[in-house]
Structure 1
């Protein structure tokens, strides 16, 4: 049986409490994901992010504030000699937990959108230097290689429509 042949029991439940929808309310803007990419690769300062991404000042300030308000980033003060105190943006544990999401988006982009020469960024394991990739496993540890083997079902927080 595949999801194509089984009626999705999940469709009988309300999408009002959907955690995918709630996550996308935070992550849904392109500039938000670009800001997270920058922080993940070590770019933590506002002016450096603005220069590297081209995101307008007001948009960048808004995205950073929203990520701080939602607990994905925290601000840490720093001061260059002779300058005013500024802030760096650092990932919280909640923010770090998005790493697999960015790895998955990067892998998809590498597969379908990269230049002919290949991807512009590689992610490697610090210990051995091997490429890092995303992988799905069930709670019993089985690797899922065919996504049609995954079937949605109502969870404990589901509400009937």
Structure 2
């Protein structure tokens, strides 16, 4: 399905995938969430072609997931850094959920490569559904209801 069609969809998952669903995009975001900002670091850490990386970064900038800022090392040409916006930082939950799922259902022989913990307590954290009081809700207790905005 073309991106323009997905962006006009009433389905928020389809609209999100129109921006985030291209190959490499979530991996770029994973690297950005680890604190990296520079084009060359993204390219080297992911081993991807520069034209593909440029395309993905431009899409993320266009849709407000990242910002693009010029910098220049002494004696070098102008280059760019890419910083996550608040919308981009909110994707930490999505990336964390994918990593959690991968560790649970496609485990690496040597164990998880990433562990998330609370900065305040140092205790492990996990991605979950929580209610308005902050209590975790078991997956079998979560119900998905369509609103009137969703076509039948």
TM range (shorter): 0.7 to 0.9
Q: How many residues are aligned here? A: 145
- Give deviations 1:107-154, integer Å, cap 9, x for gaps: 111112232220112223333332231121123544211x22222222
Q: In 1, Cα distance between the equivalents of 2:77 and 2:83? A: 19
TM score, norm. by length of structure 1: 0.82
TM score, norm. by length of structure 2: 0.86
Aligned to 2:6: none
Aligned to 2:16: 23
Q: Does 1:128 align with 2:121?
A: yes
Larger relative contact order (CA 8 Å, sep ≥ 6): 1
In structure 2, stretches of 5+ residues that fail to align are 1-8
Q: What's the CA shift for 1:92? A: 0.4
Aligned to 2:75: 82
Q: What is the correspondence of 1:2-151 to structure 2 with a 5 Å cutoff? A: 16-145=9-138, 147-151=139-143
Q: Which portions of structure 1, spanning 4 or more consecutive aligned residues, are displaced by more than 4 angstroms?
A: none
Structure whose alpha-carbon radius of gyration is higher: 1
